[in-house]
Structure 1
Amino acid sequence: MILTARVTAVQAGMRLDDGAARLFPGLSKSRIRKIIDWGGCSIAGTMVRVASRTLAEHDEIVLGVMEPDEYRERLLARDEILYDDRDYLAVNKAAGLNCQRTPYQLKGTVEHAVTLYFRAAGSHEPARVVHRLDRGTSGVMVFPKNRRAAAHFSAALQRGAVEKIYWALVAGAPDADQWTVNAPIAKIDRARYGVALPGKDAQTLFRVRASGVGLTLVEARPLTGRTHQIRVHLAHCGLPILGDTVYGGDPAARLLLHCRSMTFANAAGRTISATAPVDRDFAACCAAAGIPLPVARPAAGGLASD
């Protein structure tokens, strides 16, 4: 929830936390301080993390108010680390987390958790978000550890040299075991995309991974990287993802889309690959439908494979 207010002559000269408490009476001063600390406050479009800042008349204060449980610090657990070498870190992003900071949230994001991981390892490099997953999507995210690795990985993504495999649970059964969607994607309103002209070229390869009672596990390999590409292309096929109510999917505990693996070659030509196990909600939906899932097991060198 985003709250906005403008400083009047009454709050001018006050500390930010004191003035905000007056302008937003529904929030306690302690909660306002926490919002400020977590990067959820901006003045004139700039993030402010100093509660003692002096307010000026006409300042516009914007607060991003998260649910109380979202204030928990996000630290990477050992089982969330999928791959780690001197150039790249791959993690298993949980569903429901923002992968990068927003104007109203810094802490509690995957980006911030990776930054803390780097700091604990003695590195002062930033967590570079070179690719993204939707908030509701889980699975593999790769973070380059230096500029050279970031440039190489970014170039590989742009030329389609990174193999990305996603799993999606859909209701019903596709008409074929394998198919390709080659359909342009365009933004159709503030938060939704669709197959439309004019739009950006988008191509996704699909195949049935397993079938169960009323549900099908579909594997998707996007050959381009458009926003909501897999979600839009499956909805276009009449197969919206379970939990994706934005695109017509039936309600579920979460958006049942998971980035299963990412594979690419580093600058020296060595293959880098990471595979992420699904979470309990995803596994439970598969089990309820009688869909078996392979178990990811670590392989040599810190990689993971089926």
Structure 2
Amino acid sequence: MILTARVGADQAGVRLDEGAARLFPQLSKTRIRTIIDWGGCAVGGTMVRVASRRLQAGDEIVLGVMEPERYREITLAPEDILFEDGGYLAVNKASGLNCQRTPYQLKGTVEYAVTLHFRACGSAEPARVIHRLDRGTSGVMIFPASRRAAAHISRELKEGRVEKVYWALVAGMPLADSWQVDAPVAKVGTSRYGVAPVGKAALTEFRVVARGNGATLVEARPRTGRTHQIRVHLAHGGLSIIGDTTYGGIAAPRMMLHCRTMTFRAEDGRPVSATAPPDREFTAACEQHGIQFGGA
């Protein structure tokens, strides 16, 4: 929920937290301070994380209010780091986390956790998000450790030279063991996409990894990078991802979509590759449908 108000003469000169409490009486001052600390407050279009900042008449205050359970401090644990070689850092993003800052938060995102990791390693470089995973998707995210590395991997992504492999647990049984979907994807509603003639060209290759009882573990290789591409292409073929209720999937503890691997070549030609194990909820869902793969 986004709340907006403008500072009047009676709030001018007071602290940000105090003025916001007067302008948004439905929120406690404690909650407002939490919103400010987490990067969910903007004054005049700029994020402000200092509650003691003094307000001026005419300032526009915007607060992004999240559900209390989404305020989760995250840091990178050793097991979250897939590799780090000085040029690139690869991490295993958990399902349920935003990969980058939003109008609601900075803290509690993978971007912020990586920034803290870089600082702890003595680097002043920011965490540059050069590819994104949906909040419900888990798996490999790669962060460049320098501006030059960021420019290189961005070019590789644009030119389609980064190999990405996803695992998806879908309800139903594909007729073939491998197939591809070549169908344009367009925005069809708020935060929703679909196959539509006016959309952008999109191609995904699919392969069955394992068949179970009423569900199939599918490998997806997107050859283009459209928003929600894998989710849309599977739903278009009647194979909605379990947990992806936006596209007709049955309810589950999480959306069963996982970025398994990413592979590309660094500027000096060396191969860069990361593989992320799926989490326990993903493997448990597979096991419930008789699919065993040891969480590998």
TM-score (normalizing by structure 1): 0.93
Kept after mapping to 1: 8 A contact 2:182/2:204: yes
1:253 corresponds to: 253
| Contiguous gaps of at least 5 residues in structure 1 | 297-306
2:185 corresponds to: 185
Q: Among the aligned pairs, what percent are the same residue? A: 70
Kept after mapping to 2: 8 A contact 1:93/1:110: yes
1:303 corresponds to: none
Q: CA separation in 1, counterparts of 2:217 and 2:165?
A: 13
2:127 corresponds to: 127
Q: In the TM superposition, what is the alpha-carbon distance from 1:252 to its structure 2 partner?
A: 1.0
Q: Where in structure 2 are the equivalents of 1:194-233 lying within 5 Å? A: 194-233=194-233
Give the SS at the match of 1:209.
strand
After superposition, what is the alpha-carbon deviation per residue over 1:268-294, rounded to whole angstroms, capped at 9, x for unaligned?
222111111111111111111110124
- The more displaced of 34-43 and 44-53 is 44-53
Kept after mapping to 2: 8 A contact 1:42/1:104: no
1:32 corresponds to: 32
Q: In the TM superposition, what is the alpha-carbon distance from 1:130 to its structure 2 partner?
A: 0.6
Q: In the TM superposition, what is the alpha-carbon distance from 1:238 to its structure 2 partner?
A: 0.9
Q: CA separation in 2, counterparts of 1:72 and 1:174?
A: 38
Q: In the TM superposition, what is the alpha-carbon distance from 1:20 to its structure 2 partner?
A: 1.0
1:304 corresponds to: none
Kept after mapping to 2: 8 A contact 1:144/1:150: yes
Letter in 1 for 2:191: A
Residue 71 (structure 2) pairs with residue 71 (structure 1): yes
Letter in 2 for 1:62: V
Q: In the TM superposition, what is the alpha-carbon distance from 1:98 to its structure 2 partner?
A: 0.6
Give the SS at the match of 1:235.
helix
Give the SS at the match of 2:124.
coil
Kept after mapping to 2: 8 A contact 1:186/1:199: yes
Q: In the TM superposition, what is the alpha-carbon distance from 1:3 to its structure 2 partner?
A: 2.2
Q: CA separation in 2, counterparts of 1:294 and 1:213?
A: 17
Q: In the TM superposition, what is the alpha-carbon distance from 1:50 to its structure 2 partner?
A: 2.0
2:293 corresponds to: 293
In angstroms, what is the RMSD of aligned CA positions? 1.4
Q: CA separation in 2, counterparts of 1:211 and 1:117?
A: 39
Residue 91 (structure 2) pairs with residue 97 (structure 1): no
1:153 corresponds to: 153
1:302 corresponds to: none
Q: CA separation in 2, counterparts of 1:199 and 1:71?
A: 35
Give the SS at the match of 1:21.
helix
Q: In the TM superposition, what is the alpha-carbon distance from 1:129 to its structure 2 partner?
A: 0.5
1:42 corresponds to: 42
1:301 corresponds to: none
Kept after mapping to 1: 8 A contact 2:169/2:241: yes
TM-score (normalizing by structure 2): 0.96
Letter in 1 for 2:66: M
Q: In the TM superposition, what is the alpha-carbon distance from 1:157 to its structure 2 partner?
A: 0.8
Number of residues of Structure 1 aligned to a counterpart in Structure 2: 296
Q: CA separation in 1, counterparts of 2:220 and 2:231?
A: 10
Give the SS at the match of 2:189.
coil
Give the SS at the match of 1:267.
coil
